[in-house]
Chain A
Amino acid sequence: MTGWNIFPFFAVATIVLAVVASVLALYKRRTAALTLSLLAVGVLTLFVAMLWTSLERPPMRTMGETRLWYSLFLLVAGVATYARWRFRWVLSFSTLLSTVFMVINCVRPELHDKTLMPALQSAWFMPHVAVYMFSYALLGVATIMAIYYLVKRDEKVLPAIDNLLGGGLALFTVGMLTGALWAKQAWGEFWSWDAKEAWAAATWFIYLGAIHLRLMRPKGVQKFCILLIVAFLSLQMCWYGVNYLPSAEKSVHSYNRNN
Chain B
Amino acid sequence: MTAGTKNFTPRMVLATIAALLFGAQWLFGEPPLWLFAAPMNLLAGVLWLAVIYEGYRRRTTSKAVQYLLSAEATYMALAIVAIVAVVLGLQSEPASTSWPVVGALLFAQTVLSLVILRGWRNERGVRWRFLIIHFGLWLALMSALLGASDKQVLRVQVGSEPTREALNEQGEKHFLDYELRLENFVMEHSESGAPERFCATVAVDDKVVDIEVNSPYTVNFGEDIYLVSYTAEGCVLQIVRDPWQVVTTIGIAILLLGAFVLFMKGFQNRER
Contact = CB atoms under 8 A, between A and B. Distances in A.
B190 A185 contact: no
Contacts of A205: 78-79, 81-82, 85
B23 interface: no
A171 interface: yes
Nearest to A80: B263
Interface string A222-237: 0000000000001001
Interface residues of A, number: 62
Given A113-B190, A117-B194, A177 B256 contact: yes
Interface string A66-84: 0000000000000010001
Nearest to A178: B256
A159 B197 CA distance: 49
A201 B108 CA distance: 14
B256 to A, nearest CB: 5
B89 A114 contact: no
Contact of B196 (A118, A234, A242): A118
A177 B82 CA distance: 17
Contacts, number: 157
Given A121-B213, A174-B256, A246-B92, A189 B240 contact: yes
B264 interface: yes
> Would you call the interface of chain A mostly helix, strand, loop, or mixed?
helix
B248 interface: yes
A1 interface: no
Given A162-B267, A177-B255, A209-B79, A216 B262 contact: no
Interface of B: 71, 74-75, 78-79, 81-83, 85-86, 88-92, 94, 96, 144, 153, 190-192, 194-198, 212-216, 224, 226, 228, 238, 240, 242, 245, 248-249, 252, 255-256, 258-260, 262-268, 270
